[in-house]
């Protein structure tokens, strides 16, 4: 068996395991590539909110805490935010679906838990 056929069979095995995992979670294997008006608004609003918050709070921190807010505070908060992002990425990687972060919190909370449609 040559190198390329080994890689192809390993890839096919991975796809088969992903398909089985999706079916175990109750999902069909599909990739829906569309963005509606609400999704577009949500992404745009999120980006605008982050930018406006950074710009207004940068001046506030500089005026109240001085340069220490930028030199010490911002790097510490940035590292903490990265920990949250890495945790979300790890959780979302367990659910091999398109848009794993959007469907993740209801799955992680369980039936009737916070963030689930039933709770």
pLDDT along the chain (119 residues), means of 10: 74 86 81 71 74 76 83 86 83 61 57 52
Q: How many CB atoms lie within 10 A of CB 104?
A: 18
Dist CA 78 CA 75 (whole Å): 5
The length of the chain in residues reads: 119
Would you state the pLDDT for residue 44?
A: 74
- Position 97 scores a pLDDT of 57
pLDDT at 116: 47
* pLDDT confidence of residue 119: 44
- pLDDT score recorded for residue 25: 82
């Amino acid at each position: 068996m040559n190198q390329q056929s080994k890689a192809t069979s390993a890839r096919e095995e991975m796809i088969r395991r992903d398909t089985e995992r999706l079916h175990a979670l109750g999902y069909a294997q599909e990739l829906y590539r569309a963005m509606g008006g609400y999704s577009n608004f949500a992404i745009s609003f999120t980006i605008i909110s982050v930018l406006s918050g950074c710009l207004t709070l940068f001046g506030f921190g500089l005026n109240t805490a001085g340069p220490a807010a930028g030199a010490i505070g911002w790097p510490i908060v940035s590292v903490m935010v990265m920990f949250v992002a890495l945790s979300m990425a790890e959780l979302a990687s367990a659910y091999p679906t398109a848009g794993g972060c959007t469907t993740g919190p209801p799955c992680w909370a369980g039936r009737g838990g916070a963030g689930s449609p039933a709770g």
